[in-house]
Amino acid sequence: MEKAKAFLEAVSADENLAKALSGIKSKEELLAFAARHGHNLTEQDLKDIAKIGSVYLKQKSGEPLSDEELELVSGGIVEWAIAVGIFFLVGAVTTAIGGALGAATLVISESMDDRS
């Protein structure tokens, strides 16, 4: 989870880097993109990023969380992600690794609304 968090921090701090993610269409492209920017992520790191976004969406909609998801919330990971406003990135990652496009679109649009 630490490498995923470091990548999220880097992207959230650099608007150009974040915008460049919009053209990424596959997990292979995303892993190569991260590596070019000094982040040697694994497929598990991408899953961790997507998991953070999934837990956020479930929590926001009032759905019950599993024990593992509750640990992310109680451990502060979800709150940290909200604080740095990285859910547009989570949406891009979710799309790149084959997650639900609808959820990714929702996350992206919510993030853009929050930044306005």
Tell me the backbone φ, ψ of residue 24, rounded to 5 degrees.
Answer: -80, 130
Whether the pTM exceeds 0.75: the reply is: no
Give 101-110 contacts, CB < 8 A, sequence gap 24+: 103/53, 103/54, 103/57, 106/57, 107/53, 107/56, 107/57
Give pLDDT tens digits for 28-83.
888 898 899 999 999 888 888 777 777 777 877 888 988 888 887 776 666 656 55
pLDDT digits (tens, 9 = 90+) for 80-99: 565 555 555 666 666 666 65
Residue 94, Cβ density class (10 Å: 0-12 exposed, 13-18 middle, ≥19 buried)? buried
